[in-house]
Every structure is written in structure tokens, then in C-alpha cells.
Chains A and B, each alone.
Chain A
């Protein structure tokens, strides 16, 4: 059985494929999917993948991810492939791409960073120092964040 058929095909929405194995729940958080709402979300974890060895897949009904969502997603699933589904057919395919400069994606966690004053108007900015392994630092204060911490600080 193909891993894509482990859950029912969706009519409209987004399929996020090639999520690193075990990270589907973090993707739900990073995309700010409200799991208490009625929108059906199907989640497949740890299925075999030629590309990743094992992977997770997420199907989100009635929501089309936009560029901002993809920028967030790139932080934890840089190899993810996205298919926008309309009327049961793939209407659009997208890839995530992690930029060098992440503007208003996540907050700095360092308590003494200048951005900790909510009244300061300039945007939150992170710079990507390394992609493999992922290393992200605050553009202003230079402090790094572990990925789990970063997910908790997504704006």
C-alpha cells in the first residue's frame, strides 16, 4: 500500500510530504493549525521513504498554505514538498526554501535581547547560520535557539 493512501485522499487543501520522521506534530504547531477546530487533519508518521528513509506526511483539509507558511515550514522540514489540492487533483506543487533572513517568523528567546521590549517597532529577525545542521541566530543579539525552543517562539 502506498504511504499516500494510508489516509483518504482529500478534496481541497494541502498535502505536506517529506516531513522528517517524527516531526509532524511540530509542523502542526509551526503552521498554527488549530487542532480544536473542525478542519480535518490527517497525519501519517514514520512511513518508509526513498528520500528520507522514513518520513511523516500531513494532509490539511480546506486550507492552502501560503508563502509565509512555507517560510516557517522550512525551519523544520527543509525537504518538504507541498501539493495544493483542488477538487481531488493536484492544482499546484511547491517546495519550501529556507532563506538566509527570517523576518517576523520567530521571536528571539534571549531575555536580554533588545527585541524583548514589545513596544520596539522593528521586526523580529533571525539569520540562518547553517542549514545542515540547522542553526538559527537572532539577527540583533546573535543568540542561537534550539529547534524545539524555536518552534515554541514562532510568531
Chain B
């Protein structure tokens, strides 16, 4: 069995390549049925007795908390790990830390500042690994909740015009999302300053799928044709120096007035946190979906936890 096939069988989710399009649709269907459980309206202890290790070697708010809520709403429990003040600060290798967790938990969500850490962990241990963000690499559980949000708003994922804006170089959410979108026939417009362009390998992969990909530095004129505008934060922490950051900080900003002429049904998404790339005046518009998107992390991660642990989500949740 090839590595990726084995990984699919084992329930790891390191990159979107670990899921087929059919897998994606089936997980989103599961997530949809789990929404009332995610809201706490229905009690469904599918994962009772199971333990999730939240292995966060880098800070996180939404991802860590939504994993925790997802596991707890399904009756499971959570070990929260952060690298500060633990054996990692004493110089422990990722391999050794993960060996420990292999004995304590049934599944692990890992976030790490180094790229490739999720794949490395998946190779180091037997329990399923969910990549919760590795450096500037991938963030597939975010992609799943992004796809959930897109499908929820548009009723489909196929053939949409999606504009990805901001830090496309270091932004792992857009790396995973763009891979998934082109598999569903999306046309992509990549808007970024030249210093933060999408890595060449990714653009080449996207084009090899036959995707219609346009790269530009300006957001002007991109809004009227868009079905989805996906804004990202210029990530200060990923810049080698302050001067480089200040050259591009605040370069793209959407305000309520920018949305005149937008298509009906167009949605604005953002993985959050935002700085000033979306003005608060947009929040009350029909286009703003980013807070809904943040909630969608819960049912989507519930569905992913069930899948990786081999637990079937009932066809009727009541």
C-alpha cells in the first residue's frame, strides 16, 4: 500500500491529499447532521471514553478551542498541551513528545511552527494525527470548515469564482484551501503583494489540475465577479524583520463601501484573527460569513474526529 493510501486507511489528515472528493463530501454531510450537537441542542456521546490530545506547539485560539468543544460535545475528553513550560522547552524532540502522547490519547491534533511536523508526527506514532497547522504548510481541518461554509452559503462547491487575498506565501489556510477548491473546479484569483505570492510549487500544482488561476497584486475590480472573497491576515510573526512587514501591512482592506456591485450571495470569509483587513462596518452586511465560519469549525471537527476514530455518524441525528 502506498504511503498516502495507508494514511487514508489509518485516519490521519495531514494534507488535503489524504481525502478524496467523495471523502470530503461525506465528511461535510456528517458535519451538517452534527450541527445541532455542536450547538448543544442534542446530546450525542459518540466519542465517550475517547481522549483527544490537543498538541499545540504554537498559539491558537479558534482551532484549539473548537477541537476541544467538538470532542467534549461528543462525550470525549481532551488533554491540552502547550510547549511552554513543558519538556519541549527542555529540548525534547517532537518524536519523543509524540511517543508519550501515543500512550495517553486515542487521537491527536497537532499545531507546530515547523513545516512538516504533522507528517513527521503521523510517521512517529500509531494514533491518528490531525494537522491543525504546520508552519506555513497546511491546515486541512480549516479547509474542511471553509468548504463547509462555502457549501452552506452557495449550496455547492463546484465551479465557483474564489478570490484569495493577502498573505498567500505564509498563509497555510490558503495553501490547503486552494488545493481543495481546484479539485471542485473553482477558478482562483490570487491577490497578494509580490513578496507574499503563493509559492511556485503550489501554483504549479493548481495549474496541473487544469485550474484557471490568475495572480494579481490589486484587489480593485475583483469583487464584482467573486462568489467568495477569502481575506487573510498579513502574519507579522512569519516575517524575518519588521521593515519587510511594514511594507505590506494593511495593504488590502475591505469596507462596507467596497462591496457596492458585489454579486448577490457573494460571501466574505476570513480564518481569523483579523487585524484591519475587514472593517467592522462589513460585519453586519449580508456578505460577512467569518463568524459563522468560526462556529463551523465545531461540527466539521466533530465529523473529522469521528471519521479518524472509525466512529460512524448516524444518518439521522435526533
Give residues in A with beta carbon < 8 Å to B.
Answer: 101, 108, 110, 112-117, 119-122, 137-144
Please tell me if the beta carbons of B124 and A114 are within 8 angstroms of each other in the complex: no
Q: State which of A121, A139, A142, A144 has its C-beta within 8 Å of the C-beta of B137.
A: A142
Taken together as a complex, chains A and B put the C-alpha atoms of A36 and B213 apart, in Å, by 51
Smallest Cβ distance from B13 to chain A, in angstroms? 15
Taken together as a complex, chains A and B put the C-alpha atoms of A119 and B97 apart, in Å, by 13
Give residues in B with beta carbon < 8 Å to A.
Answer: 3, 15, 91, 93-95, 112-117, 119-120, 123-124, 134-138, 201
Smallest Cβ distance from B204 to chain A, in angstroms? 9
**21 residue pairs bridging A and B, Cβ less than 8 Å apart:** A108-B116, A110-B115, A112-B114, A113-B114, A113-B115, A114-B94, A114-B115, A114-B117, A114-B134, A117-B93, A119-B93, A120-B95, A120-B120, A122-B120, A139-B119, A140-B115, A140-B116, A140-B120, A141-B114, A142-B15, A142-B138
Please tell me if the beta carbons of B123 and A141 are within 8 angstroms of each other in the complex: no
Residue of B nearest to A144 (CB): B201
Please tell me if the beta carbons of B201 and A137 are within 8 angstroms of each other in the complex: yes
Smallest Cβ distance from A123 to chain B, in angstroms? 9
Please tell me if the beta carbons of A138 and B116 are within 8 angstroms of each other in the complex: yes
Q: Is the interface of B mostly helix, strand, loop or mixed?
A: mixed
Smallest Cβ distance from A81 to chain B, in angstroms? 29
Smallest Cβ distance from B3 to chain A, in angstroms? 7
Q: State which of B3, B15, B116 has its C-beta within 8 Å of the C-beta of A101.
A: B3
Residues of chain B lying within 8 A (CB to CB) of residue A113: 114-116
Taken together as a complex, chains A and B put the C-alpha atoms of A112 and B239 apart, in Å, by 13
Smallest Cβ distance from B91 to chain A, in angstroms? 8
